[in-house]
Structure 1
Amino acid sequence: MGDILYSKFPDLTLSQHIFHLTNPSSSQIVQNASLKFLQTAIEEKEMAPLYRYLAHPTEGILNMLGEGTSAQPTADSYGMTAIRRTPSNATNLLATRRPSLTVSLPWDEALYEKLVKANEAELEAIKKEEEEAVEKAGDTEVQSAKGKRAEFWTRVGHKDKGIAEYETLFEKTSILGTKIDIVLAIIRTGLFFGDKLLVKKTIDRASALVESGGDWDRRNRLKAYQGLHLLTVRSYSLAAPLLLDSLSTFTSYELCNYSSLVVYAVLAGSVSLKRVDFKTKVVDAPEIKAILGDSSDKLAALSGALSAGPSAGDEDMPDAGTTTSATPRPAAVNLTTLGQSTAEEQDAESAIDFSSLADLVGSLYTGTYTKFFDSLGTVETNFLSQDRYLYEHRHWFIREMRLRGYQQLLQSYRVVGLRSMAKDFGVTIDFLDKDLSNFIATDRVPCTIDRVNEVIETNRPGDKNRQYADVVKQGDQLITKLQKYGQSVRLRGSERG
């Protein structure tokens, strides 16, 4: 169906830099670098609407004075309409709703006027090209000219007009592949501005188009889009298989780089997959071993010697307590697309240290719980707190991973010493008691804590006992509802008498 169209804009790396400006976990060096990147991008790409949306003294989301202003767009003296602000979208684009900026994006009225004039001149040139295409050329040239208008608004960062132009282009396009490319561009626009509802609706729309006859490449691209969206709405169990499947066929560099995809896939798989699937799809996956494994694993993965499966080296896994070297891992490499990514993309990925992620995976599977908790804290610092898609759910992820560790240890024993378990996890007895109590109260861990004797007794009822307990619980709820209904009927009958 031809090359992928409309994939250059919006630049999602720019939204990550905007996130860093308001992220209290980002270092001063990172924030300064992000500010420089953002200012350069705004000037080079002439992004007047985005500049106003971010930094305007009264309407910009980075300016505290803009909080609570009218949600209706307003036009400036040049006729440029500001992007409509909504609190939910602003929150998802930024790290916090009310950012406390140590590095701010200054407002320069002269720069804004210069960018607006450049935008008006470019729009006039596009309009002239459209008119000439209508008069002298065919439908293909007309569609190409209209596509430039849609890409223009997406490039300069105007969400509403960009989507409106893409919708117009979609209605006048008959080629299925082009329709899918347009919808994918709308999805990325929603991801850029943190509009989860728009992303969900548009992904459903793209799925229907792909199922109606989309080619293999676009089908695989959509899989990565779906996985990333599910990650942003905390559906890790649904995101994990999509992201893990995308590792071997990933080409959606307009969505994220391959290193980020590896991080998303490993984290989603670690928190949601059952132990057997975790072993097969994460611990033994060739694409992941090529990045998180030791030197021999990387060499074997690159040569194709590694294979993932239920029995792929399971007998060779080290026992609990065995430690592995925490040397920095090199950058991620997509084994199936070597040579397709640009040198700039590969250089950008080379700075990532995957050692804490590798330690998290290895220690969870081998049951090295002290190391597991240590690496979990490092992963939070290095990955969860630094990524705009992971930041919102970082506390939930850490809590679920602690629960996963507790469940994995307790399922092997009938009675466990409280002091011994606290030592295994490298925490105090009081912390373990409080943390486990919260999970016990919500029926997440089937055990009881005897603090006097300092033991934890697990309680794993059989299927029949569990079914019986469910029937009793649901029966009690039904009887309560019937009693309330009966009382209501009797009251109404007495009123009628």
Structure 2
Amino acid sequence: MGDQEESTPGYLQLCMLRFRLTIPEFENDQDLIAQIKDGVARWHMAPYYEDLCKEFGWQIDEALLKSAREANAKKLEELDKTAGENVDPEENCGSTAWKSKLEYLCSIGDRKSAEALATEKFEDLTLDKTKRTDAAFALFRIAYFHGCDIKGMGKAIEQAKELIEKGAGDWSARNKLKAYEALYSLGVRDFEKASKLFIEAVPTFESYELLDFSSLVRYTVVACTIALDRTQLEVQMRKGVMAQALNAPQERPFKMFYKSFYQCRYSDFFQHLARMETDLKLNPLLNPHYRYYVREMRLRAYAQLLQAYRSLGLEVMAAEFGVSVEFIENEVARFAAAGRLAVKIDRVAMRVICDAHAEGCPAAAQQRAHLYQTIVKKGDVLLNQLKKIARVIDY
């Protein structure tokens, strides 16, 4: 797997670095700027560098730009020459050299030219559906790399799905689609769908042109921890390839994040959630959702704790989560007022009281209420039967 991961294009990392510069605390961060310029020089990204200078108001390094442009011109000339020499008149589509040219245009950040070529090939009905599917995947990667353009990603997914549903591509194309669509589902905050697709993609992952395996594993943890119930979460995280991946030292923070939630170690969970919040905030795909994610995970943790109690002291609850009583009181009150937690707060007794008959009540409380009603009903039936027996005996 290590050799495959090396095939993940190095320039893709610039998407994350570029996004960080848009966050106030990283504005004009010289280390980040240096890393980006190093990448531009390494991959000769003249078009991408020009876009960066316009976006951030950088003064253009003329020597860097000239060198990159010359390298681009030389390489594109070679690719065009190769394409001309390898045209096969027996094929409707000619040679597949356009794929190499498309990959190169993507690697230098020339979005306009890359989109034009990929769109041309996708719309070319003389091409077989497999190659048109490759073009659709390329359109997705272009949109993903250039600012996580959700609209563009969604359009590309629909294009690829339409072709695949019509019989385009082999098992590999269908397998790739899972990773692509999972990533898109994260971007539109459909965590449930994303979790299912990531779970399916992990064991047979081969979309290294899109992201590396480590990123796939981390996205899977993010999606599954919020979308799956506690039992399903543990089952999926302990399955074959996923379990093996999470044992790697670099994935330990993500393993501890889901583990602390599953094992009800809420104080640890809040600490891991805070680190996760930072990771999500710095991710261009997940940044729009990081506040929602953190809020919903806190809610899940509160509901998970409260489902075991009819009432719980605020001090005890605060101690469980490693926060102040005031914080936990305000949090629970806000969720209760919004109808997200079926509880009430007794501020005199300083306790959280579960409303066992309310819609949305934690599962254990609902089960207790149902059990009570069942016992009462069965008790009435038993009393009626005893009365009938008593009348027979008296007779």
Query: TM-score, with normalisation over the residues of structure 1?
Result: 0.64
Give the 3 Å change call, closer, same or farther, for CA 47–247 of structure 1 in structure 2: same
In structure 2, give the amino acid aligned to 1:166. Answer: A
Which consecutive residues of structure 1, in runs of 5 or more, have no partner in the other structure?
1-6, 64-104, 294-328, 331-351, 466-497
In structure 1, give the amino acid aligned to 2:313. Answer: G
1:384 deviation in Å?
2.4
1:175 is aligned, of 115, 120, 128, to 128
Partners of 2:360 and 2:307 lie apart in 1 by: 19
For residues 100-179 of structure 1, the aligned pairs below 5 Å read 106-130=59-83, 139=91, 142-172=94-124, 173-179=126-132
* Secondary structure, counterpart of 1:248 in structure 2: helix
Q: Cα deviations across residues 319-350 of structure 1 (Å, max 9, x unaligned)?
A: xxxxxxxxxx52xxxxxxxxxxxxxxxxxxxx
Equivalent residues of 1:187, 1:202 under 8 A apart: yes
Q: Give the superposed CA RMSD.
A: 3.0
* Secondary structure, counterpart of 1:255 in structure 2: coil
Equivalent residues of 2:342, 2:359 under 8 A apart: no
In structure 2, give the amino acid aligned to 1:422. Answer: A
Equivalent residues of 1:25, 1:386 under 8 A apart: no
Structure 1 position 255 matched with structure 2 position 210: yes
Partners of 1:140 and 1:417 lie apart in 2 by: 74
Partner of 1:18: 18
Equivalent residues of 2:92, 2:127 under 8 A apart: no
Partners of 2:219 and 2:49 lie apart in 1 by: 30
* Secondary structure, counterpart of 2:352 in structure 1: strand
Partner of 1:370: 267
1:455 deviation in Å?
1.2
Equivalent residues of 1:15, 1:192 under 8 A apart: yes
In structure 2, give the amino acid aligned to 1:211. Answer: E
* Secondary structure, counterpart of 2:312 in structure 1: strand
1:266 deviation in Å?
0.8
Partner of 1:199: 153
Partners of 2:27 and 2:256 lie apart in 1 by: 24
Partner of 1:43: 41
Partner of 1:232: 187
Equivalent residues of 1:234, 1:393 under 8 A apart: yes
Equivalent residues of 1:10, 1:192 under 8 A apart: no
Give the 3 Å change call, closer, same or farther, for CA 252–26 of structure 1 in structure 2: farther
Query: TM-score, with normalisation over the residues of structure 2?
Result: 0.79
Q: Percent identity?
A: 32
Partners of 1:257 and 1:121 lie apart in 2 by: 30
Structure 1 position 289 matched with structure 2 position 243: yes
Partners of 2:10 and 2:133 lie apart in 1 by: 16
Q: Cα deviations across residues 431-451 of structure 1 (Å, max 9, x unaligned)?
A: 011111221122111111111
Partner of 2:56: 62
1:365 deviation in Å?
1.4
2:227 is aligned, of 272, 288, 296, to 272
* Higher RCO (Cα < 8 Å, 6 or more apart): 1
Equivalent residues of 1:220, 1:250 under 8 A apart: yes
Q: Cα deviations across residues 90-132 of structure 1 (Å, max 9, x unaligned)?
A: xxxxxxxxxxxxxxx6521343244334434544455555555
Give the 3 Å change call, closer, same or farther, for CA 287–151 of structure 1 in structure 2: closer
Partners of 1:31 and 1:209 lie apart in 2 by: 45
Give the 3 Å change call, closer, same or farther, for CA 289–414 of structure 1 in structure 2: same
1:10 deviation in Å?
9.1
In structure 2, give the amino acid aligned to 1:115. Answer: A
1:455 is aligned, of 351, 361, 365, to 351
Partners of 2:231 and 2:33 lie apart in 1 by: 44
Give the 3 Å change call, closer, same or farther, for CA 27–168 of structure 1 in structure 2: closer
Structure 1 position 395 matched with structure 2 position 288: no
Give the 3 Å change call, closer, same or farther, for CA 130–460 of structure 1 in structure 2: same
Structure 1 position 216 matched with structure 2 position 171: yes
Aligned residue pairs, count: 352
